[in-house]
Amino acid sequence: MKTPIQYPKEIIKDIAGEIDIGMICLLTTDTLEVESVMGTSYTASVQSRENHIRIEPTESWQSFKIMEEFIETCIPDHDSIKNRL
């Protein structure tokens, strides 16, 4: 079983901020450099880079599904706020 790679929290925070505004992020795994590009300007040459991880923003339906799963998993059934959410 592969051990998960731990990336610095600051890098993850930067990537999260970029994808929140609709950017596609490219993480260079060798240097941990993050490059952000607009989704519409993402070209085939960028796709073919080695040692990069491509991170795309989620679709709105995916974000809602994540929120629903969080509510279902993390908030007890007897908590009154669960019904309001």
Say how far apart CA 39 and CA 26 lie, in whole Å. Answer: 12
Q: Is 78 helix (H, G, I), strand (E, B) or coil?
A: coil
Global model pTM greater than 0.75:
no
pLDDT (average), residues 71-77: 87
pLDDT tens, position by position, 8-58: 999 999 999 998 888 889 899 889 999 888 866 555 445 556 788 888 887
